[in-house]
Amino acid sequence: MFGRHFITLADFNAKQILCILETAKKLKALQQSGKAHRLLDGKSLAMFFQKPSMRTRVSFEVGITQLGGSALNIRPEEIQMGKRESIADIARVISRYVDAVMMRVLRHSDIVEFAKYSNAPVINGLSDLYHPCQAVSDMLTIEEHKGKLRGLTLCYVGDGNNVCNSLIEMAHLTGMKMIVSCPEGYEPYINSKKIPHKIVRDPNSAVSGADVIYTDVWTSMGQEKESLIRLRAFRDYTISEAMMAQAAPGAIFMHCLPAHRGEEVDKAVVDGPQSVIFDQAENRLHAQKAVLALLLSKELQLENLS
């Protein structure tokens, strides 16, 4: 049984997460071989963004279309969530029109509130705390490049933000060791007693022997006022070629994008031979199609997807 909503990976068990991975691989193969896979014929997805987006917006719209459904974009100023109308009433009404809702919200509590009143599955397209769609796409990319997940070490260098929190959950569910290297005061929201991960302050030691080196922007959307303070706080946390040389042989470099060359990562690394950033971006499409299909298709049987 798959979950009712897709809000944070902590709501899922290892078996369900691996089911997303297997479904994504099959859907990717079907799409690449040009075979129709209209598992969600006639279904509709409402998309709601309180923050900018390129990858999430385009990959969800194309993804639901490839599955036989359609997407509609709702602008925040149209519905004015919590201002013109309560979150509860919007959720009750929209979920009578559409089959699923994907939301990018400023406050995680808003998506939790929406899901409480929505009869349709709700997907988190990024909140201040989590980015689960990114993490499941990254899981697919890591497996494609490393041939496995269990036993690998993922080292995240930078801000303990939404992307980092979802990677901690993903690593835990897939048997990867997770190391986070961040300055004091920028630790992940997830406590290491709740979901194990190691904090290593020195980024050069943290990356030593890691199979996957991951970073994200130092200033996330909504934190723009703190950008100068953050530039100073993170100045020793730029991923350089020297740091990549400390990682395990064959290590890959990952970034959810958009990237700031010269800040969290040097150009030589992000555009270099170890970088898999565009595979990550592509896999948003395949992994999110798997999430949509698993949430919405009652008949989905993995063995029939070939």
Question: Residue 220 Cβ, how far from ligand NVA at the closest point, in Å?
Answer: 3
Q: From CA 278, how far away is CA 273, in angstroms rounded?
A: 12
DSSP 150: T
Q: From CA 156, how far away is CA 42, in angstroms rounded?
A: 40
Q: From CA 146, how far away is CA 285, in angstroms rounded?
A: 20
Contacting residues toward ligand NVA, per CB under 6 A: 126, 161-163, 216-217, 220-221, 256
Question: Residue 106 Cβ, how far from ligand CP at the closest point, in Å?
Answer: 14
Question: Residue 222 Cβ, how far from ligand NVA at the closest point, in Å?
Answer: 7
Structure tokens at 194: 């709740």
In the chain, the amino acid numbered 171 is A
Q: Within 199-298, where are the H helices? A: 203-206, 227-233, 241-246, 267-270, 277-296
Question: Residue 86 Cβ, how far from ligand CP at the closest point, in Å?
Answer: 27
Question: Under DSSP, is residue 186 helix (H, G, I), strand (E, B) or coil?
Answer: coil
Instruction: Check if the beta carbon of residue 269 is closer than 8 Å to that of residue 240.
Output: yes
Tell me whether residue 39 or residue 102 sits nearer to ligand CP (CB atom): 102
Q: From CA 167, how far away is CA 130, in angstroms rounded?
A: 9
Tell me whether residue 54 or residue 231 sits nearer to ligand CP (CB atom): 54
Report which residue's Cβ sits closest to ligand CP.
Answer: 56
Tell me whether residue 191 or residue 227 sits nearer to ligand CP (CB atom): 227
Report which residue's Cβ sits closest to ligand NVA.
Answer: 220
> Which residues have a catalytic role annotated?
104, 131, 134, 216, 256, 284
Question: Residue 221 Cβ, how far from ligand NVA at the closest point, in Å?
Answer: 4
Contacting residues toward ligand CP, per CB under 6 A: 53-56, 126, 134, 256-257
220 binding partner (options ligand CP, ligand NVA, none; Cβ < 5 to 8 Å by kind): ligand NVA
Among 279, 305, 295, 302, residue whose Cα is nearest residue 139: 279
CB neighbour class for 265 (10 Å; exposed up to 12, middle 13-18, buried from 19): buried
In the chain, the amino acid numbered 142 is I
Q: From CA 239, how far away is CA 103, in angstroms rounded?
A: 31
Tell me whether residue 69 or residue 132 sits nearer to ligand CP (CB atom): 132
54 binding partner (options ligand CP, ligand NVA, none; Cβ < 5 to 8 Å by kind): ligand CP
Tell me whether residue 216 or residue 263 sits nearer to ligand NVA (CB atom): 216
Partner residues linked to 155 by β-bridges: 179, 213
Structure tokens at 97: 């029109």
Question: Residue 259 Cβ, how far from ligand NVA at the closest point, in Å?
Answer: 10
Tell me whether residue 51 or residue 177 sits nearer to ligand CP (CB atom): 51
Structure tokens at 55: 């990858």
